[in-house]
Amino acid sequence: MHVGFVLNPIAGMGGRVGLKGTDGKVAEARERGAEPRAPQRAERALAELAERLPDAEISTWGDPMGESAVRAAGYEPDVLGEPDADETRSADTRAAVDAFLDAGVDLVLFVGGDGTAADVAEALEGTDTPMLGIPAGVKVYSSVFAVSPEDAAYILASYERTERREVMDINEDEYREGEVNPELRAVARVPVAEAMQSSKQLGGGTVEALAAGVADDIRAEPERTYVLGPGSTVGTIKDELGFAGSPIGVDVWRDGEVVAKDATEAEILDALGDDNVIVVSPIGGQGFVFGRGNPQLSPDVIRQCDVTIVASRAKLDGVSVLRADTDDPELDEELQGWWKVRVGKFETRMMKLV
Residues 57 and 140 in one domain: yes
* Residue 34 pLDDT > 60: no
Q: What pLDDT does 135 receive?
A: 92
Section 286-300 average pLDDT: 94
pTM over 0.75: no
Total domains, the chain:
2
pLDDT, tens digit (0-9, with 9 covering 90-100), for 332-342 = 999 999 999 99
More confident site: 353 or 175: 353
Domain boundary among 191, 218, 243: 191
Q: pLDDT confidence of 303, banded at 50, 70, 90? A: very high
Answer yes or no: is 334 within a domain. yes
Q: pLDDT confidence of 87, banded at 50, 70, 90? A: confident
Residues 138 and 272 in one domain: no
Residues 182 and 223 in one domain: no
Q: pLDDT confidence of 83, banded at 50, 70, 90? A: very high
Q: pLDDT confidence of 163, banded at 50, 70, 90? A: very high
Q: What pLDDT does 36 receive?
A: 73
Residues 86 and 121 in one domain: yes
Q: What pLDDT does 346 receive?
A: 76
Residues 145 and 25 in one domain: yes
Answer yes or no: is 104 within a domain. yes
Amino acid identity, residue 199? S
Residues 223 and 301 in one domain: yes
Answer yes or no: is 198 within a domain. no
Cα(180)–Cα(183) distance, integer angstroms: 10
Cα 313 to chain centroid, rounded: 23
Of residues 113, 115, 70, 120, the one with CA closest to residue 94: 120
Instruction: Provide the domain limits for residue 214.
Output: 208-353
Section 295-319 average pLDDT: 94
* Residue 219 pLDDT > 90: yes
- Check which CATH number belongs to the domain holding 186 and give it: 3.40.50.10330
Domain boundary among 135, 158, 191: 191
Q: pLDDT confidence of 185, banded at 50, 70, 90? A: confident
Residues 220 and 329 in one domain: yes
Answer yes or no: is 202 within a domain. no
* Residue 2 pLDDT > 90: yes
Q: What pLDDT does 22 receive?
A: 55
Answer yes or no: is 197 within a domain. no
Radius of gyration of the chain (CA): 20
Start-to-end C-alpha separation, the chain: 29
Section 20-43 average pLDDT: 69
Domain boundary among 191, 220, 243: 191
Residues 183 and 64 in one domain: yes
Answer yes or no: is 165 within a domain. yes
pLDDT, tens digit (0-9, with 9 covering 90-100), for 241-277 = 999 999 889 999 999 999 999 999 999 999 999 999 9
Q: What pLDDT does 180 receive?
A: 54
Section 191-211 average pLDDT: 74
pLDDT, tens digit (0-9, with 9 covering 90-100), for 117-143 = 999 999 999 999 999 999 997 768 888
* Residue 202 pLDDT > 60: no
Residues 57 and 113 in one domain: yes
Residues 215 and 143 in one domain: no
Residues 104 and 23 in one domain: yes
SS (H, E, C) the chain: CEEEEEECCCCCCCCCCCCCCCCCCHHHHHHCCCCCCHHHHHHHHHHHHHHHCCCCEEEEECCCCEHHHHHHCCCCCEECCCCCCCCCCHHHHHHHHHHHHHHCCCEEEEEECHHHHHHHHHHHCCCCCCEEEEECCCCCCCCCEECCHHHHHHHHHHCCCEEEEEEEECCHHHHHCCCCCCEEEEEEEEECCCCECCCCCCCCCCCHHHHHHHHHHHHCCCCCEEEECCCHHHHHHHHHHCCCCCCCCCEEEECCEEEECCCCHHHHHHHCCCCEEEEECCCCCCCEEECCCCCCCCHHHHCCCEEEEECCHHHHHCCCCEEECCCCHHHHHHHCEEEEEECCCCCEEEEEEC
Answer yes or no: is 201 within a domain. no
Backbone angles phi, psi at 336, to 5 degrees: -65, 150
Q: What pLDDT does 10 receive?
A: 86
Q: What pLDDT does 26 receive?
A: 55
Answer yes or no: is 122 within a domain. yes
Question: Are 233 and 310 contacting, i.e. CB atoms less than 8 angstroms apart?
Answer: yes
Residues 175 and 227 in one domain: no
Q: pLDDT confidence of 35, banded at 50, 70, 90? A: low
